[in-house]
Structure 1
Amino acid sequence: MKNLPLKIRSKKLESRVDLTAMVSVSFLLIVFFMVTIDLAKPKSMSMGLPDKNPEWDGTISCGSGTEIRTITILLDNNNKLVSYQGLLSYPIEKPKMLSYDSNGIRQELHNKKKSIQEFYGDSSRGPIVIIKPSKKCNYKNLVDILDEMAIAKIDTYAIVNDFTPEESQLLVAN
């Protein structure tokens, strides 16, 4: 027999999948979702408002001094803005109509902040502003008043939608 050429057999390579990149991407996605879920949680702070007491005798306690620091801003339709300091039944300063410009609410907030800080002799004790938008108030006015809080550097403010009957009458009268 003749010498027949031997068949050359090809070497079979092992198939191997490199998962290094997949593991890196997986860990990045896990970290991303953990961070975004933590940031998406709503952060809120409870506000200590006085209890509604129907048996209130009308006397004002000035022990805490909160009445002096409290400024309430009522927002209504047609860019109507009414502000008063203290309690509406016994205001420190009577309610007045203001505008959304630099000579209106901005000037009022600066003046109130300055007078409150001078009264206490402490620059860390500024006004407590309660913003009350009515159901007729538009979104732009609410955003504008929040901008004014930032411009005037008012640290303590809250948005409350609880109108008293007296405040509703005050908006109608003005």
Structure 2
Amino acid sequence: MALIPQKQRTGNRTRGKGFHLDMTPMVDLASLLLTFFILTTTFARLQTMEINMPTANGPDTPIPGKNALNIVLDKENKVYYFFGYPGDEPELKQTDLSANGMRQVLLSEQVKDNPDMVVLVKATAGSRYKNLVDVLDELKITGTRKYALVDLREEDKALLSSR
């Protein structure tokens, strides 16, 4: 219990009673309110994406060129894409990671109408991790089910340098 000390008055005035303030109900109320707000608060949940990576000893499944969409992440937030493989001399196109860029490519008829389409995501040494996360987000948003993170090969580097 908390007491507030009173000054002693001397003189002609009569001595009043000391004031006693009991803080126990206030502490009880504060602890009940704190408990209530802690238990009723919804905490922000982390959003994670599960990626199943193949094992090093797993089978190498060849993908026909007509079923391959290659996305290459380059420095300065540049994103290139092409259908097929570099040996087939594909047309290299540049886009960005906006809703009008990569998302429209992933929603195009050439990708959505082909149930066997596999998206191969490749990153150069100068690309940023944020761009990889953005591409994975776009794949999730567009509902793309088949994709893989692939190492950049020499043929891909040659195709990029010829641009």
TM-score by length of 2: 0.59
Q: Residue 20 of structure 1 aligns with which residue?
A: none
- Describe the shift of the 1:135–1:127 C-alpha distance in structure 2 as closer, same or farther (beyond 3 A): same
For the Cα contact (< 8 Å) 2:86–2:159, is it kept in 1? no
**Distance change >3 Å, CA 143–CA 86, structure 1 → 2:** same
Q: Percent identity?
A: 28
The RMSD of aligned alpha carbons is 2.4
Query: Given the alignment, which residue of 144, 149, 153 partners 2:134?
Result: 144
Please state if 1:153 is matched with 2:130: no
Which residue pairs with 2:159 in the alignment?
170
The alpha-carbon deviation at position 97 of structure 1 amounts to 0.5
Q: Which residue does 1:78 correspond to in 2?
A: 76
Which blocks of at least 5 consecutive residues in structure 2 are unaligned?
Answer: 1-50
- Provide the residue aligned with 1:88 in structure 2: 86
Structure 2 Cα separation of the partners of residues 153 and 82 of structure 1: 20
| Number of the residue aligned with 1:18 | none
Q: In structure 2, how many angstroms separate the alpha carbons of the residues matched to 1:101 and 1:126?
A: 25
Please say if residues 67 and 118 of structure 2, whose CA atoms lie closer than 8 Å, have aligned partners that are also in contact.
yes
The reply on whether 1:99 has 2:92 as its aligned counterpart is no
1:16-55 equivalences in 2 (<5 Å): 44-46=53-55, 48-49=59-60
Partner SS for 2:157: helix
Identify unmatched segments of 5+ residues in structure 1.
Answer: 1-41, 52-64, 117-124
Are residues 115 and 170 of structure 1, via their aligned partners in 2, closer, same or farther at CA, if it must alter by over 3 Å? same
Secondary structure at 1:154 match in 2: coil
8 A Cα contact 1:127 1:154, kept in partner: no
Q: Structure 2 vs 1, CA of residues 90 and 75 (structure 1 numbering), >3 Å: closer, same or farther?
A: same
Residue 114 of structure 1 corresponds to 112
SS at match of 2:103: helix
Partner Cα distance (2:101, 2:139) in 1: 13
Is the CA contact 1:126–1:154 (under 8 Å) kept in the aligned structure 2?
Answer: no
Shift of 1:126: 4.2
